[in-house]
Amino acid sequence: MYKETEKDGYVLIENEGGRTLGIAKESRVNIICRDGLAFKDFLGTGQLAPYEDWRLSPRERAEDLAGRLSIEDIAGLMLYSSHQNLPAGSGQGTYGGRPYSEAGARPWDLTDQQREFVVRDGVRHVLLTGLESVETAVRWNNSIQALAENTGFGIPANNSSDPRHSIASGVEWKAWSKEGVSDWASGLAMTACFDPQVVKDFGRAASREYRALGIATALSPQIDLGTEPRWLRFGDTFGENGELTALMAQAYCDGFQTTQGSPDGWGDESVNTMVKHFPGGGPCEGGRDAHYAYGKYAVYPGDNFKEHLKPFLEGAFRLKDGTKCASAVMPYYTVSVGQDKKYGENVGNSFSRYIITDLLRQEAGFDGVVCTDWAITHPEGGMRQSRGKCWGMETATDAERNLKALEAGVDQFGGNQDAEPLLEAFRMGCAKYGEEAMDRRMRRSAVRLLLNMFRTGLFENPYLDLEESLGVVGKEEYMRQGYDSQLRSVVLLKNKGHVLPLSPRREDGSPRKVYVPRRHIRETRSFDGDIVPERYLTPEGKAEAGKYYSLVDTPEEADAAICFVESPICCPYSEEDRRAGGSGYLPVTLQYRPYVAEYAPKESLAGGDPQEDFTNRGYYGKWNTAANEEDLDLVLHARRKMKDKPVIVVLEMKNPVVMGEMEPYADAVVAEFCVSKRAVLEVICGSFQPTGLLPLQMPKDMRTVEEQKEDVPFDMECYVDSEGHRWDFGFGMNYSGVIRDERTKRWGKDET
């Protein structure tokens, strides 16, 4: 027996002892009753097709539906939308042909482009970025699901998100989003806790919030090993320890994918995880990132390729809970130079048959979805632009790139919602391999993609109840857990003379006066390669410090100075150098003062690009400087003016830092990995005893950075501070001194 309940825009149908269905109020889909149970009649035949029967296994249903689809339908499944903001901003979409500001539309209304890619192109995988509110997310989700339900075979939308639960998500996600999900430590900050259970707790909380927003796939975790300290995305990794990263990956995927009480772990609380980036994007040459043409090569001077597979093979593909394996994998953009010993190709990982079919599918036994990173089939732009990233296939056409990825074993194309190049690739494949072979190839991918929808219950009920979602997103328990993870991640590196904790009040009970200097950052480049003008800014931590201390304008007035700085910011490529006859390549510096690369290799390990008439991408003898060089100056200025009064440095770390220029002038150094400044201030003032440990090595100097090998972990000489402490992996202090506990016994390095 079943019961129907009318909801806001949809009808909820509860089967006694079975699955709950959701169906749009004005749906063309009818309900079939069999054995007193309700099923959706997507096909409109009045007969129960296997894919409509929720009593069957997800694989049986996926195989049945994949066999019914046309190649055009499958092509739509294999596409992934571009980033979608709700509502769409300027240039991102229109409503009835007009921009949102002029259309009078509601923030949750579907854009013209969204309607088109769902109905015309059959796109069902949608990447969500900005969400104006929980209500916007819920109502938009219900609208797009109703449209999908009434289109074709009724395949629901599988909405996804990149990480959005950390302070570090601000630039790409939280700058646009106001949905209010809980804030957690992430990446390096999670590792600084040295506790995989924190990661699992995060996965459980975040998955509930995701599902309450209509998100069923997480484009995470990022489990690349951070063996190259200069890498732009180092801060998003779990560090360079392969064993620990594997445990973190395992905990993350188990937390996200597991529905409690389900026999196989899957259910309507599950969120598919897409682990990235196979086979590991960390060993990028010279620290240059593969989002840009100047950073397309991963190199292995230490012959350590297999170590980078450990987080996948021993973590994400070996889960403890019922789902057993991460449901999807995203290869990185990089060309893994010299690793394809079978076919001898040096192409981007998603184009590599050796990487995808031989290594991932056959050797690792992975049979889930392989989704390319975004825009790999698009033409490359300039050397500094994050546009098309078709590394190794730069001179091919879009269709040829699609076919190459299909031949490699890819199932899905990230950031591509245009079906025609993929359909052209299919036709080219038919001419090359025969139509029957290409048909089988496409349907294999369709089964994998549909399986992730059936497992998470999207075919039964993709609809959301606004009141229920409001009770889940930003839930007090999740907010408390998230904030606790931030507190636990803060690392005390130096505490000369026990200046910390710094009480908010003096001994006489009067407020303690604190000076927080402003920062200046020179012109630099955004993630997309656009120029960011120089800027003067008041540190975010100043307002937070004002809640604990009495702020003053000059160091002379202050009892203590708190200097908020961040790891050095620089770009490793210069168009000006290129126009002047140079190669354009510059060193990535981890120090603040100008750096000359006198210890760098004279020849690059990899090179070659249609935009260049040379292959040596080295930068020996060239110099670069940090755009935030003046972070060092503000500490030096504070030291001079404060004289014997305490100078406290708060270092926001996205990468390891050469601290020899700055550390001697600080009485205390607090490291944080892009968490809230409130958490940092609680450590400084004594409300929370620091427990975090360094999740990385801090290099002695740039020579050890240049001489380390991109693919090898723990191969730098570490910095020793003025107190005689070595800032190595696993080092940290509390107010009493150096932390020595079970974590440091297992993971730490001997700091003597």
Active site residues: 373
Residue 539, preceding bond cis, omega within 30 degrees?
A: no
CA dist., res. 143 & res. 632, Å (int): 52
The two structure tokens encoding residue 372 = 């390319």
CA dist., res. 720 & res. 741, Å (int): 21
Report DSSP letters for 268-317, one per residue: TT--EEEEEEET-S--BGGG--TTSGGG-EE--TT--GGGGGHHIIIIIT
Crossing angle for the helix pair 58-68 and 435-455, to the nearest 10 degrees: 140
Rg of the chain on CA atoms, in Å: 27
Q: Are strands 10-15 and 519-521 parallel, antiparallel or unpaired?
A: unpaired
Closest CA to 4 of 15, 138, 268: 15
Helix (H, G, I), strand (E, B) or coil at 371: strand
347: Cα within 13 Å, side-chain hemisphere:
22
Backbone φ and ψ of 59, nearest 5°: -70, -40
Residue 197: exposed, middle, or buried by beta-carbon count in 10 A (0-12, 13-18, 19+)? exposed
Residue 87, preceding bond cis, omega within 30 degrees?
A: yes
According to DSSP, the residues that pair with 494 across neighbouring strands are 669
E strands, 88-143, where?
Answer: 125-131
Position of tokens 């958490």? 679
299: left (phi over 0), alpha (psi -120 to 50) or beta: beta
8 A C-beta contact, residue 207 and residue 256? yes
Q: Which residues contact 614 (CB under 8 A, 6 or more apart)?
A: 583, 607
Crossing angle for the helix pair 420-433 and 435-455, to the nearest 10 degrees: 130
CA dist., res. 685 & res. 545, Å (int): 9
Closest CA to 402 of 383, 369, 428, 380: 428
Start-to-end CA distance of the chain, whole Å, equals 70
Report DSSP letters for 196-261, one per residue: HHHHHHHHHHHHHHHHHTTEEEE---B------TT-TTGGGS--S-HHHHHHHHHHHHHHHHPPTT
Closest CA to 325 of 359, 286, 293, 368: 368
Q: Are strands 595-596 and 560-566 parallel, antiparallel or unpaired?
A: unpaired
* Cα dihedral sign, 433-439-444-450: positive
CA dist., res. 43 & res. 40, Å (int): 9
CA dist., res. 380 & res. 391, Å (int): 8
Structure-derived torsion over alpha carbons of residues 456, 461, 462, 466, reported in degrees to the nearest 10: -120
CA geometry: angle 146, 152, 156, nearest 5 deg: 45
According to DSSP, residue 505 is labeled B
